[in-house]
Chains A and B, each alone.
Chain A
Amino acid sequence: MLKDLSKLFYYRELLYNLTLREIKGRYKQTAIGIAWALFQPLSMMIVFTIVFSYFAKIQTESIPYPLFSYCGLVAWSFFSNSISKGTNSIIGNINLVTKIYFPREIFPISTTISNFIDFLISSLLFLLLAIFYKTPITPYLFAVPVIFIIHTIFIIGLSLFLSALNVFKRDIGYLVPIVLQIWMFLSPVVYPVTLVPEEYRWLYMLNPLAGIIEGYRKTILFGEMPPLGPLGFSAFIAFIVFSASYFYFKKVEKKFADVI
């Protein structure tokens, strides 16, 4: 696997070019271009603010609900968009897969990177929101990059697995959006973990995204220590998923052109 990873370094320019192709291709011929990246989490934030904050009156402790939910939604959108686009990243490039060889993991990885750019842009809006609500700056912010790395490793791992599986069974492409929708409500994206009954919380925290999203929120919004137990567990799962998926991916990679 390390050999494969070092090979990726050799192909970094291709990775860069394919990522660029994806970002540019996505927003060409649109009027507002990459600003679309803001609208998805923003519009969801507005809807959830209306539903959960005014109708359902969910308590989010000291944090205003829009800020609270936007934080979760930005992190969630990065995950969900990368996974749903990543799943189709190989079958969407049949032209290249059947004509030219290069390491195929470049497809899901470049999809993840291009979604990372969207993530950055929606994070800018988050920054403005945080300034607006006078969120304090604390040393715990240094934990954010670590959480981000865990988050990204988990995303790439899952994308590798799903993109490869989707080549053999296209059912995956239909299944993933459904699972993602359910997954979102099983993660603390638009509501706090405290809403989950105490006795089931251990089960709830088995979801690796729970630890990650809680991590972002605790460190950035509350200025507290990240929940080390759940976050450590997420890191462990992310690493396992990544290694197993990469191993599987490289094993079946050469069959893509025969099946696709």
Chain B
Amino acid sequence: MPDIAIKFDNISKRYEKGSSTIRESISKLFRGTTDQNYSTLENTASDSNVFWALKDVSFEVKKGNTLGIIGPNGAGKSTILKLLAGITEPTSGKITINGKIGVLIELGAGFHPEFTGRENIYLNGAIMGMSKKDINEKFAAIVDFAELHEFIDTPVKHYSSGMYLRLGFSIAAHLEPDILLIDEVLAVGDAPFQAKCLKKIGELKQSGVIMVLVSHNLHSIRILCNKTILLNQGNIVFYGETETAINNYTDLITKKTEVSCNEEVKFKSKVKEVKDKAEILGVEFLNSQNIRKNIYYTGEKFILAIRYIAHCKIDNPVFTLGIYSFDGTLYAGHSTALDGFHMESIEGNGTVRVEFEHIPLLPGIYEISVGIFDKEGLSPYDWHQKKYKFHVASGGSKATGLFYLPHKWIIE
């Protein structure tokens, strides 16, 4: 079947935890890795000493597709990439790959610190399977992309970490593989570099390179991948449309974090210091009928009510609100001061509401920080950092990217 680039057939991967005795390991060394009797025997013998990174995983990637792999830590994402790259072998099952594999797992893994940028391009290129002729041809493009003209003859030990990563990415991106494996490398470097990498990867995708992308950055998964696998504890939970996979993933995480959140609150309340002037009592998420909820659709009305108590009279307080993506990026920071909303004074119990007519956030999990500050907005009376979470589910207005911006289309 030539239109299938990658095929995983009931792949399982077992790791052995801890070390075994010398006698065991010596006898093990002389037995084969493909010895089936031995592996089943081993299973029953010491089940507690093994760890299954993947269990019966099967999937296919057709030519011209980009596959995303998401899931919590330890789900087996990197194991899939290592199997694809041939770095490790499955314990059972069969992997079929049609095409030359390129790896973007760790940028600059093969760099020698004493070598110059130029020498490292040849060394790293060779490690990734490029011939000297290939590298000669692409040398200028690699240096251009990495923006390292001045420093190409400087030993890389003198490079900044940004320069190091730029060079590593640039070499890998010019490999021209049929299949490119990418593991979290987009999470490195500064914002302009990330954008540049993303653009380059987009170009590679356009040119027909099949990609397998592992990332916690749901944004890059959303814009790059046609299909996405959601892994949890070595099993495929979902394989299909990227949007659905991301929704299932956010559900999975919400369930997990709800438990840990409660624990955290309990812990905090125990050691809670007495806020002598004002305190935030809580935050409620409401819909247009003032009913509490914490799942919204994109474009829906979103109301946040901050309940507080002021123990004495506070003049000109400032209320703040920060909305963060799940990976910690501040998407929006609002405050009564920035909005020019003047509050004379507060005293006793009260509630402040923030209303968003149409919430522009796309499906995902978001965290909220709220605070009451003094009139300069510098020192807080009380501040709850990322203490609240809400969930935007798919089913509302659709868009790609980060936000749904209010807009309309007009034919003239």
Which of A's residues lie within 8 Å of B, judged by CB?
11, 13-14, 16-18, 20-21, 24-25, 28-29, 95-102, 165, 168-169, 248, 251-252, 254-255, 257-258
- Contacts known (A14-B127, A101-B87, A255-B33); A96 close to B132, Cβ less than 8 A: no
Which residues of the partner chain B approach A96 to less than 8 Å between Cβ atoms? 109-110, 127
Q: Are B109 and A257 in contact (CB under 8 A)?
A: no
- Contacts known (A24-B114, A100-B103); A257 close to B88, Cβ less than 8 A: yes
Which residues between 1 and 54 of chain B lie within 8 Å of chain A, taking CB atoms? 15-16, 22, 25-26, 29-30, 32-33
Interface centre among A14, A18, A255 (most CB of B within 10 A): A14
Closest chain B CB from A260 CB (angstroms): 10
Cα-based distance from A157 to B210 in the complex (angstroms): 39
Which residues of the partner chain B approach A251 to less than 8 Å between Cβ atoms? 32-33
Cα-based distance from A161 to B88 in the complex (angstroms): 19
Which residues of the partner chain B approach A17 to less than 8 Å between Cβ atoms? 122-123, 126-127
User: Smallest CB-CB separation from A169: which chain B residue?
Assistant: B25
Contact among B15, B26, B103 with A258 in the assembled complex (CB-CB below 8 Å)? B15
Q: Are A102 and B33 in contact (CB under 8 A)?
A: no
Closest chain A CB from B161 CB (angstroms): 16
Q: Are A99 and B106 in contact (CB under 8 A)?
A: yes
Q: Are A99 and B126 in contact (CB under 8 A)?
A: no
B57 at the interface (CB under 8 A from A): no
Contact among B85, B87, B88, B132 with A13 in the assembled complex (CB-CB below 8 Å)? B132
Cα-based distance from A29 to B364 in the complex (angstroms): 52
Contact among A21, A99, A169, A254 with B89 in the assembled complex (CB-CB below 8 Å)? A254
- Contacts known (A14-B126, A95-B106); A100 close to B88, Cβ less than 8 A: no
B86 at the interface (CB under 8 A from A): yes
- Contacts known (A95-B106, A99-B105); A257 close to B115, Cβ less than 8 A: no
Cα-based distance from A248 to B33 in the complex (angstroms): 11
Closest chain B CB from A252 CB (angstroms): 7
B240 at the interface (CB under 8 A from A): no
Which residues of the partner chain B approach A14 to less than 8 Å between Cβ atoms? 126-127, 129
Closest chain B CB from A254 CB (angstroms): 4
Given A24-B112, A99-B87, A100-B85, 17 additional A-B pairs, CB 8 A: A14-B126, A17-B127, A18-B123, A21-B112, A21-B123, A24-B115, A29-B114, A96-B109, A97-B87, A99-B103, A100-B103, A100-B109, A252-B33, A254-B86, A254-B89, A255-B88, A258-B16
Which residues of the partner chain A approach B30 to less than 8 Å between Cβ atoms? 248
B131 at the interface (CB under 8 A from A): yes
Contact with A along B127-170 (1 / 0, CB 8 A): 11101100000000000000000000000000000000000000
User: Smallest CB-CB separation from B32: which chain A residue?
Assistant: A251
Q: Are B82 and A257 in contact (CB under 8 A)?
A: yes
Cα-based distance from A18 to B123 in the complex (angstroms): 7
Q: Are B25 and A168 in contact (CB under 8 A)?
A: yes
Which residues of the partner chain A approach B112 to less than 8 Å between Cβ atoms? 21, 24-25
- What are 13 A-B contacts defined by CB distance under 8 Å? A11-B129, A14-B126, A24-B112, A99-B87, A99-B110, A101-B85, A165-B29, A168-B25, A248-B29, A252-B29, A254-B89, A258-B16, A258-B88
Which residues of the partner chain B approach A11 to less than 8 Å between Cβ atoms? 129
Cα-based distance from A190 to B30 in the complex (angstroms): 37
Q: Are A100 and B29 in contact (CB under 8 A)?
A: no
Q: Are A100 and B114 in contact (CB under 8 A)?
A: no
Q: Are B126 and A169 in contact (CB under 8 A)?
A: no
Q: Are B110 and A95 in contact (CB under 8 A)?
A: yes
User: Smallest CB-CB separation from B105: which chain A residue?
Assistant: A99
Contact among B87, B119, B122, B131 with A257 in the assembled complex (CB-CB below 8 Å)? B87
Cα-based distance from A29 to B157 in the complex (angstroms): 13
Q: Are B114 and A28 in contact (CB under 8 A)?
A: yes
Which residues of the partner chain A approach B88 to less than 8 Å between Cβ atoms? 254-255, 257-258
Q: Are A13 and B29 in contact (CB under 8 A)?
A: no
Contact among A21, A100, A169, A248 with B105 in the assembled complex (CB-CB below 8 Å)? A100
